[in-house]
Structure 1
């Protein structure tokens, strides 16, 4: 098993994606959704993904919803970023999906995080960790050890927003445009100061969420500034 020595830079990830049209890059992972003709075909795809994972000794996060299969490849031993192994596995899965007649719907893949404004994360993070049954990451975020619930991160600021808790919704930049347009059409306040990395959305009652993309995200590669 390799480590960070096969970690891909953002430019290399983008290059790899030109040969992986079914896939998108999101939060240090290659992600997609496949829609199979039937639930039985979806199970065939899941079995094929399992065989690929065992053959390559590289296992994805996978979620089955009737005839749709949500798949996420990342390399945990490389700090949760994309390596050559992820690209190779994604290509094999695309071939398996074609064999069962599944169509890629990458726009359906999204990741949700819970963000909490605070002046001191250490004062409150343990409450959330224990109550949720989560574990703490090296970056002090909280994550579900089984990958089912949204992660929690603490945005330290001397001036916390009056709406201290907000949701971050991550999509690929390639899929974000229509969502931004539809959200703006609801009448929400759209702060685009940080676009395309994220857009702050405020509803009519002052509640916030952020629509985020992978833009600006860089893998942590040793030896690179």
Structure 2
């Protein structure tokens, strides 16, 4: 296997067994590191930039005070995870450990906006035009800079009266904590599709899904 190869779900899962800081999220792998100070977090950002330049493979990095959120995917492979992402993730974890910066996988999360529609192709270009998003091969819409939530269209012959819902992606290893908090708040939970996703409905009928990487 060369470093251009796209990894399937099982291969990603196997690689991540040796990368405890990282989790699979839609189309990428992600980690969150929390330093003791903002200066230490910036030092980690600099180390990540150095590793990325050496590999000529650049992750998305979001610095928030003493936290560093990192996501890596192979854009030239259509937004899939390749062995280049695995190699870069390993180097980032090594540099974080050398700096004494702890990983916090429980903070990993991705939010997508989902729209029910009986004809997604009819409305997707309008949303793309309004948001400046790119239309992907699977029909979803993605912010070119990957700062804003992705949008995907759930095709259904009879759209729900409330056509919008959120998909909240959490690592499977962390999802039980979220579901327990929802139970404490007395949200209605439909777990027929668990662990892939659990549909939560609030007291006013609004829905959102807690999604994981399992059985996708």
- Under TM normalisation by the shorter chain, which class is it? over 0.9
User: Which residue is equivalent to 1:68?
Assistant: 67
Contact 2:3–2:83 (CA under 8 A) maintained in structure 1 = no
Of structures 1 and 2, the one scoring higher in RCO (CA 8 A, sep 6+) is 1
Q: Which residue in 1 is equivalent to 2:149? A: 150
Deviates more, 1:202-211 or 1:120-129: 120-129
Q: Is the 8 A contact 1:4 1:77 kept in 2?
A: no
Task: Detail structure 1 runs of 4+ shifted over 3 Å in the superposition.
Answer: 2-5
Tell me, in whole angstroms, the C-alpha distance in 1 between the residues paired with 2:187 and 2:179: 10
Post-superposition offset of 1:216: 2.3
Deviation at 1:171, TM superposition (A): 1.1
Against the structure 1 CA distance between its residues 180 and 28, is the aligned structure 2 distance closer, same or farther, given a 3 Å change threshold?
Answer: same
Q: For the residues of structure 2 that align with 1:214 and 1:165, how far apart are their CA atoms?
A: 22
Alignment of 1:89-128 (within 5 A): 89-128=88-127
Q: What's 1:186 paired with?
A: 185
- The change in CA–CA distance for 1:86 and 1:164 in structure 2 (over 3 A counts) is same
Q: Which runs of 5+ in 1 are unaligned?
A: 218-225
Partner of 1:220: none
- Structure 2 equivalent of residue 30 of structure 1: 29
Cα deviation, 1:37-59, whole Å, max 9, x if unaligned, reads 11011111001100100101111
Partners of 2:90 and 2:117 in 1: how far apart?
42
**d(CA) in 1 for partners of 2:74, 2:138:** 17
CA RMSD of aligned residues (A): 1.5
- Post-superposition offset of 1:5: 5.0
TM-score, normalising length: structure 1: 0.92
Asked if the contact 1:4–1:78 (Cα under 8 Å) also holds between the matched residues in 2, the reply is: no
> For the residues of structure 2 that align with 1:66 and 1:5, how far apart are their CA atoms?
34
Partner of 2:86 in structure 1? Answer: 87
